Amino acid sequence: MAHGASLVARLPRVRGPYQPGAAIKDLTWFRAGGPAEVLYIPPDAEDLALFLKELSPDVPVTLIGVGSNLLVRDGGVDGVVIRLGRGFMNVTADPMNRLRAGAAALDVAVAKAALEAGLTGLEFMRGIPGTVGGGLRMNAGAYGREFKDVLVEALALDRRGARVRLTNTQMGFEYRRANAPADLIFVEAVFQAAPGEKPAIEARMNEITDARSSTQPIKSRTGGSTFKNPPGEKAWQLIDRAGCRGLRRGDAEVSTMHCNFLINHGKASGDEIEALGEEVRAKVKAATGIELEWEIKRIGKKGT
Ligand SMILES: Cc1cc2nc3c(=O)[nH]c(=O)nc-3n(C[C@H](O)[C@H](O)[C@H](O)COP(=O)(O)OP(=O)(O)OC[C@H]3O[C@@H](n4cnc5c(N)ncnc54)[C@H](O)[C@@H]3O)c2cc1C
């Protein structure tokens, strides 16, 4: 990785701050992994569009939301890591029972705005600890609903800073992924809801919150579900069957509470957590013949 300061000298002049060598582990739930060569926090879509338009095409760009499905490797991330700033956090309801949300808004904030507006259909978002942008990329979902079921359209910027509008179909949603071009940066989304009764909406959200805290290690340093559920199977059951519950590598552990979650008990490095995940994959393959696919996005290079 080149020294971040020398990359900054090559970057477009924009308002958003550049932070060379930023410890992006602090922006992830795992709290592990190496630095970004440069972290850029665009204050709004205008700044981001200008940045992308003027950025040399050879500089890699990596997006992070709140890092709830993200593992950073120890060698850090080359190029520019972007985390959307305050101007991407607005959530507003419109008269057509839709919610328009900036891509840096938390899913929880969207759920809360829906409750305040007396709109139902978005209660599941109460249980997902990520941003709208991360949810679009991951087709995040819980309790039988996912982004695919509620998205009207997404707005994005392409690698050259041009605005792109994507319908639900154009997002190419599948289980925990969107097939929309990988270089798109989502900046906004519009969700469809329906009129509902506030007490019922609130009760459902409370149910979801309670169910979460009793079944998932939500107060731990984790990345959520590590592996996708293979067709017709539950990843956690396969991991359990392979004897991996509680498996440890240093401070990295397969959660004893929900064994599709990996936990950093404090000092685990990004590479250690990834190696533990690979060990789980190998053991599951040996025990069941099934190859688990990572759901967690891993970014950056391994350390030395
Ligand atoms: C305790 C816990 C519980 C969880 N429960 C669930 C659950 O029930 N259901 C579920 O689906 N997920 C769950 N997750 C995973 C995670 O919350 C979701 O995948 C979430 O959508 C990720 O959002 P994020 O902002 O944290 O994205 P990040 O983890 O920061 O990034 C995830 C991916 O999205 C991309 N991305 C982020 N923002 C943008 C953007 N603006 N434009 C383009 N790409 C972007 C990143 O490049 C990366 O590839 C859980 C995680 C935790 C820690």
DSSP 106: B
User: Ligand 1: distance of its center to the CA of 296 in Å?
Assistant: 8
Which pLDDT tens digit goes with each residue over 139-153? 999 999 999 999 999
User: Ligand 1: distance of its center to the CA of 70 in Å?
Assistant: 7
Indicate the top mutation candidate among 40, 136, 138 to test ligand 1's pocket, ranked by most ligand atoms within 8 A of CB.
138
Number of other residues whose CB lies within 10 A of the CB of residue 135:
29
- Would strands 145-146 and 141-142 be described as parallel, antiparallel, or unpaired? antiparallel
Nearest protein CA to atom 19 of ligand 1, as residue: 69
Buried b (16+ CB within 10 A) or exposed e, 79-105: bbbbbbbebbbebebeeebbbbbbbbb
> Per residue of the chain (304 residues), what is the pLDDT tens digit?
556 889 999 999 999 999 999 999 999 999 999 999 999 999 999 999 999 999 999 999 999 999 999 999 999 999 999 999 999 999 999 999 999 999 999 999 999 999 999 999 999 999 999 999 999 999 999 999 999 999 999 999 999 999 999 999 999 999 999 999 999 999 999 999 999 999 999 999 999 999 888 888 888 999 999 999 999 999 999 999 999 999 999 999 999 999 999 999 999 999 999 999 999 999 999 999 999 999 999 999 999 8
Domains with residue ranges and CATH for the chain: 4-83 (3.30.43.10), 89-212 (3.30.465.10), 218-295 (3.90.78.10)
DSSP 271: H
Indicate the top mutation candidate among 137, 146, 255 to test ligand 1's pocket, ranked by most ligand atoms within 8 A of CB.
137
Residues with CB under 6 A from ligand 1: 29, 63-70, 84, 103, 127-131, 133-135, 137-138, 140-142, 185-186, 216, 218, 222-224, 297
**What values do phi and psi take at 202, rounded to 5?**
-65, -40
Whole-number pLDDT of residue 213: 81
Helices 198-215 and 107-116, axial angle in degrees (round to 10) = 150
Beta carbons within 8 Å of 206's beta carbon, 6+ residues apart: none
Number of other residues whose CB lies within 10 A of the CB of residue 176:
17
> What is the pTM assigned to this prediction?
0.97
Nearest protein CA to atom 27 of ligand 1, as residue: 134
Residues 187/88, Cβ–Cβ less than 8 Å = yes
